[in-house]
């Protein structure tokens, strides 16, 4: 069974990291870098949210159902990630790639580190 409060905490920490990095980018590099940074972070935490919503398996589910839910959730997350990056690169012409990918990577790092401690 998935601990919903732990999932919320992880996603909230991802949001906080994205906002913090975006604020640092705003102070150092300006608005475009900050927006690019936050967009990268948003891709990270939104895809985590998609995974969490799809992964919910009923309590007491058998292992086969849990594994199927995991694979399905990962597939949705991957597709959503590809769609969001495609949308950003086709619609946001001023995007700064380094802040975008760095903040995306930071939110992924939060996710993986948090899984160790949750």
Q: For residues 54 and 1, which has the higher predicted lDDT (pLDDT)? A: 54
What is the C-alpha separation between 48 and 114, in angstroms, rounded? 12
- 97 Cβ neighbours under 8 A, 6+ residues apart: 36
Residue 57: pLDDT band by 50, 70, 90 thresholds? low
Instruction: Please report, for residues 12, 55, 59, 118, the alpha-carbon distance to residue 52 in angstroms, rounded to integers and kept in the order given.
Output: 13, 5, 15, 14
At 117 the pLDDT is: 78
Residue 57 half-sphere exposure toward CB, CA atoms < 13 A: 17
Q: Is the pTM of this model over 0.75?
A: yes
The length of the chain, given as a count of residues: 118
What confidence tens digit (pLDDT) does each residue in 76-107 have?
999 999 999 999 999 999 999 999 999 999 99
At 55 the pLDDT is: 83
Closest by CA to 17, choosing from 33, 41, 36, is 41
Closest by CA to 106, choosing from 14, 34, 12, is 14
What is the C-alpha separation between 98 and 106, in angstroms, rounded? 12
């Amino acid at each position: 069974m998935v601990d919903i409060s732990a999932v919320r905490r992880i996603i909230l920490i991802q949001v906080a990291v994205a906002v913090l990095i975006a604020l640092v980018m705003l102070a150092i590099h300006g608005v475009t870098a900050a927006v690019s940074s936050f967009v990268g972070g948003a891709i990270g935490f939104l895809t985590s949210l998609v995974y969490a919503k799809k992964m919910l398996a009923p309590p007491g589910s058998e292992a086969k159902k849990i594994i199927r839910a995991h694979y399905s959730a990962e597939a949705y997350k991957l597709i959503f990630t590809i769609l969001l990056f495609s949308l950003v690169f086709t619609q946001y012409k001023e995007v700064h790639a380094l802040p975008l990918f760095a903040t995306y990577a930071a939110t992924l790092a939060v996710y993986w580190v948090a899984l160790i401690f949750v």
